[in-house]
Amino acid sequence: MRIRLTVMAGLATLAGAVGLYPLFAGRAWFWAGLGAVLSVAAGGLVARRFRVPAALNAVAGLLALLLYLTVVHASGEALLGVVPTAGSLQRLATLAGEGWDAANNYAAPVPLVPGIMLLAAAGIGLVALLVDLLAVRLRRTAPAGLPLLAMYSVPAAVREDSVSWAAFAVGALGFLALLMTDAREQVGGWGRVVFTPRWSDGVPLAGAAEEDGTDGAGGSGGRRERPDVGALAASGRRIGMAAVAVAVLLPMAIPGVQPRGLFGLGGGGGGGGGSQTVTTPDPLVSLKRELTRPDDAVVLTYRTDARERPDYLRLYALDRFDGDRWSYYSLQSTAKDRLTDRELPPPPGLGPVRTQRVTTRVKVSRQVRNMTFLPVPYAPARVSIKGDWRVDEASRMVYSLRDSAGGRSYTVTSLQAMPTAQQLAAGVGYPVDVLRRYTALPRTVPPEVTKLAHDITSGALSAHRKAVLLQRWFTRDGGFTYDLSAPPPQRGNDLTGFLLRDKRGYCEQFAAAMALMARVLNIPARVAMGYTPGTQTSPGVWTVRSRDAHAWPELYFEGTGWVRFEPTPAGAAGQGTAVTPPYSEPASDPVTSRGEQTPSAPTPSASSSASAGPGTAAQRGLDQPDPGTGADGAEEEDGGVPTGWIAGTVLVLALLAAPMVARVLTRRRRWAAVPPPGSQVAGGRGDGDGPGGDGPSPASAGGTGAAHAAHAAWREMRSDALDHGLAWRSSDTPRATVRQLAQVLEPDAETAQALGRIARAEEMARYSPVPADAPPEALRADVRRVREAFAASVSRPARLRARLLPPSTVASTRSATREALHEAAVRVAAVTGRARQVRERVAERVRDRLPGGR
């Protein structure tokens, strides 16, 4: 039945479910998920108790989950309140549909209505079912992490803010605990541990009596010392910390894994002159979440010198319609697209119409996350912002490959066109590239939509008149209702249903439908997304909130370029801060529905640009930089302390110094472990180097402090020789090793005496029952003298390597790792054997007490 592993699988699922907390406005969802996990675990235990196949194991879990959901949500329609019936299944399906609609209508965190509770419990229960099947039934614990990871992808896809590190740590610990439990379960089947003298620290001599009275010849009753696991635990911690450090730091340094580079210091953006594709989440996915956020948070504030109401702040220009949704073509960003303190060329299509230059100083809230496109008025002529920001000249979208607008201040000088209806009506003919790109439609556009567009604009001869009639049909004549509860369009027939049947929706449907119908009429069109002007809080100061998020169509007219239309109902019955542009009002167009009147050509005075006159005192004040901003209006925060560079430098220095520091610490630990002179030392293990560098020496198991001092001096000399690149054969005796070193070093008299004293002390410690009583300080001084001789005998690069990158550190790490793995195997085998012995003794006692010994 694998009860322990089943319990850990359920706990791992609950730990992973903690990451779902950003989705719900309460805690009751967790308790619903707990019930689902317990039900699935119970179903799995029952299936394994009767040894059913793996497929039926999953079926048992599903049935248990269904029973739980029936009892909680449809007990009134179930037989005896438990057994599912057709009525209870219909009730669950209805609740699931209501929950799905609520999830689409509300922005996270969603209220815990019954349908949401049902979906949460069912989702967590299905994850628990997969984890139980993979980890417990199929014994594939590692792949069981995939469904656990899937739960983290849900809030990441729904919200801009990521899951907190604490919630992720809880889930990671749950998965690690599941892996450890599975490892123990599998190791438990290896059988009884087989002890050898090598695995025991205290091996009795032949014929010596043990404490329990048995002979010391290895009888089964002899007492054996278990290996000391202190060093094993320390090595395990070191290995674990090193593995975690490599797993965290290595991906940061691999190109492509961390697009912003190590600590955000890397290029991340084609700095070398190459191109890079700009990718962002679907812009329309977050639009409804912004509109339905319950807190209506402040997104940004701005100051403007516009003489009339400010224009919309645009983020995206979506110019591609695939039959289902609007998106923009891939942006290939290169270094030449970077914003500099230069004037951008005039926007596409702009001709001799009246314009005004508007200066807008924007400050984005620090709470805004992952805003990699700047909200700017169309069309930006100059943008002053610090960081790696770029502009797409065709669409005038301003974006970054590595920075976010959250907490930033920037200044935009925009060229706002102010055409009249007559000028728009006079704009006939389009460039070939504009017509080809912005009137493209898939073949899947329903003929009903095409017929509807032509019927609405019947009799209109100019493109402007057709656009005005389309806008009026959406806002007045078509019978549409602004409704935030309408689901966003996912397929082409959703848009058809909006136009022909439902006629309920919000700005996404209105903008997408009008742009589509404009293209049907051969008018270049695209969908823009951003924010309305917001609300004026003081003269020249405006505040934009999340519910000011908006989508609108932009249509192209030769001589004016891209201009905004507003098909979404405005005011209290629609988008509260939306504004209809004056050139799109029906009364402002002299062209009648019969198209008899021809608009007059614009006069030179109307074609000239508005001059930047003195303006009011408040407007003159805008020319002064705000407190806390630089001369270009950007915050000084980007010019402050470069924390990323400091952190990266510290990390690099720490990595470079790690071998040297490890060598120094090893030397200090080695000498600190030497007992005082003349003291008796109990049996124990050395520090892993042994007399020859391969293991503990015989004398290290006990003896005097002098023996430990001799071993420490010998190991230090060995490490120094390896660090300086000198040959050292572990099979040689101390005298042979010293003779070999003397031939290489050609030492002076004092150094030769120091080598001899170290070798004699090591020989006495190894082979004599009474080690030489050499003072530790004297041996330490001899080691220092020999180290200086090593350094003098090699080149300067070799001396630097011995100090900065000592090879003995790598050898010690490899030796400690090998010993840790060996001792881990020994300990696992010992624990397994002990448990098996206990089980056999219990079984034997039970058999003895049964009648007849059975």
Q: Is the pLDDT of residue 171 over 60?
A: yes
Establish if 505 belongs to a structural domain: yes
How many C-beta atoms lie closer than 10 Å to residue 713's C-beta?
29
Indicate if 703 and 619 belong to the same structural domain: no
Tell whether omega for the bond before 109 is within 30 degrees of 0, i.e. cis.
yes
pLDDT, residue 335, reads 72
pLDDT over 70 at 619, yes or no = no
Of the listed ranges 213-217, 425-429, 550-554, 579-583, the least confidently predicted one is 213-217
**Domain assignment present for 771:** yes
Instruction: Name the pLDDT band for 660 (thresholds 50, 70, 90).
Output: confident
Residue length, the chain?
854
Q: Same domain, yes or no, for 760 and 845?
A: no
Is 231 a member of any domain? Answer: no
Q: Best-predicted range by mean pLDDT among 274-278, 333-337, 666-670, 820-824?
A: 666-670
Q: Are residues 780 and 822 in the same domain?
A: no
Exposure of 543 by Cβ count < 10 A (0-12 exposed, 13-18 middle, 19+ buried)?
Answer: middle
Question: What is the C-alpha separation between 18 and 169, in angstroms, rounded?
Answer: 10
What confidence score (pLDDT) does residue 570 get? 86
Burial 8-20 (b: 16+ CB within 10 A, else e): bbbbbbbbbbbbb
Nearest to 783 by CA among 705, 700, 721, 706: 721
Beta bridge partners of 327: 320
Residue 767 to residue 82: CA distance in whole angstroms: 80
Q: Which long-range contacts (CB under 8 A, 24 or more apart) does 197-200 make?
A: 199/227, 199/826, 199/830, 200/224, 200/225, 200/226, 200/227
- CA torsion sign for 544, 546, 547, 549 is positive
* Same structural domain, 514 and 556: yes
Residues 741-798 have pLDDT tens digits of 888 888 888 888 888 888 888 888 888 777 666 788 888 888 888 888 888 888 888 8
Residues 384, 507 within the same domain: yes
The pLDDT, as a whole number, for residue 490 is 65
For residues 70 and 182, membership in a common domain is answered with yes
Q: DSSP letters along 157-202, please?
A: HH-SSPPPHHHHHHHHHHHHHHHHHHHHHHHTTS------GGG-SS
Report the domain count for the chain.
4
Indicate whether 646 belongs to any domain: no
Q: Is residue 209 part of a domain?
A: no
Q: Which of 8-22, 327-341, 464-478, 634-648 has the highest mean pLDDT?
A: 464-478
Q: Kindly indicate the confidence band of residue 487, based on its pLDDT and cuts at 50, 70 and 90.
A: confident
Whichever domain contains 524, its CATH number is 3.10.620.30
Boundaries of domain holding 702: 657-805
Q: Are residues 466 and 580 in the same domain?
A: yes
pLDDT at 230: 54
pLDDT value of residue 814? 64
User: Which of 191, 207, 233 delimits the end of a domain?
Assistant: 191
Model confidence at 159, pLDDT cuts 50, 70, 90, reads low
pLDDT in tens, 410-458: 999 998 888 888 888 887 788 888 888 899 998 888 899 999 999 999 9
Where does the pLDDT of residue 468 fall: very low under 50, low under 70, confident under 90, or very high at 90 and above? Answer: very high
356 and 445: one domain?
yes
Are residues 343 and 397 both part of a single domain? yes
Confidence bin at 194 (pLDDT 50/70/90): low
Distances (CA, A) of 168 to 9, 10, 242, 259: 17, 17, 20, 22
Read off the amino acid at residue 834.
R
Cα 120 to Cα 37, 130, 494: the distances in Å are: 12, 16, 27
Residue that terminates a domain, selected from 191, 225, 253: 191
Please report whether residue 748 resides in a domain.
yes
Domain assignment present for 407 = yes
Do 821 and 796 reside in the same domain of the chain?
no
- Structural domain contains residue 480: yes
Final residue before a domain boundary, out of 139, 166, 191: 191
Per residue in 693-738, pLDDT (tens digit) is: 444 444 443 456 778 888 888 888 888 888 888 888 888 888 888 8
Same domain, 792 and 821: no
Q: What is the pLDDT of residue 492?
A: 63
Same domain, 34 and 63: yes
- Contact predicate 290/107, CB 8 Å: yes
| Preceding omega of 379 cis (within 30 degrees of 0) | yes
Close Cβ partners of 160 (under 8 Å, ≥ 6 residues apart): 286, 369, 370
User: Interior CA angle at 79 toward 78 and 82, to 5°?
Assistant: 70
Express each pLDDT in 33-83 by its tens digit.
Answer: 899 999 998 888 888 888 777 777 788 889 999 999 999 998 888 888 888
Its pTM stands at 0.47
